[in-house]
Amino acid sequence: METKTFTFPDGSWWEVYQEKTWGTERAIAQAVKKFLKIANPQINQLTGVVNGEVNIDWDKWDPQEANEVLLLHSPKAWSFGVVNAEILQNLPKAQVEEVLAYLDAAYASQDPLVTGRINSALQNVHSRP
């Protein structure tokens, strides 16, 4: 599977998959189940895809959880050792944001609903009551 490597001025680097893996997709789906609800769900019998009106459960809304899942499952490797949440929490914010922006853009065409940050259309559906 092809990867993209980010090299930063301090010498650190991230190598991320250019295509969303099955494991990444499953992990994101698990994370967003906590705060996305589908009204009037219908299952496409051929594909198994669930369609319906997507609503956010504002009491459970946590877009950073989906971001973290995306950031932990998309790297093939990075210069910081083992890819885990503890290390991610201590990485430079600018590096994390650059990689996340790439992942959001690269994976958006692969999944119209979930892009880590949740599709920007969903972010703007409603402001919290």
Which residues touch 69 (CB under 8 Å, ≥6 apart)? 24, 27, 28, 30, 31, 116
What count of other Cβ atoms lies within 10 Å of the Cβ of residue 68?
19
C-alpha 30/C-alpha 27 separation (Å) is 5
pLDDT in tens, 64-90: 888 898 999 999 999 999 999 999 999
pLDDT in tens, 45-70: 777 776 777 777 888 877 788 889 89
Query: What's the pLDDT at 111?
Result: 58
Higher pLDDT, 68 or 31: 68
- Against a cut of 0.75, is the pTM above it? no
Residue 112 near residue 119, CB atoms below 8 Å: yes
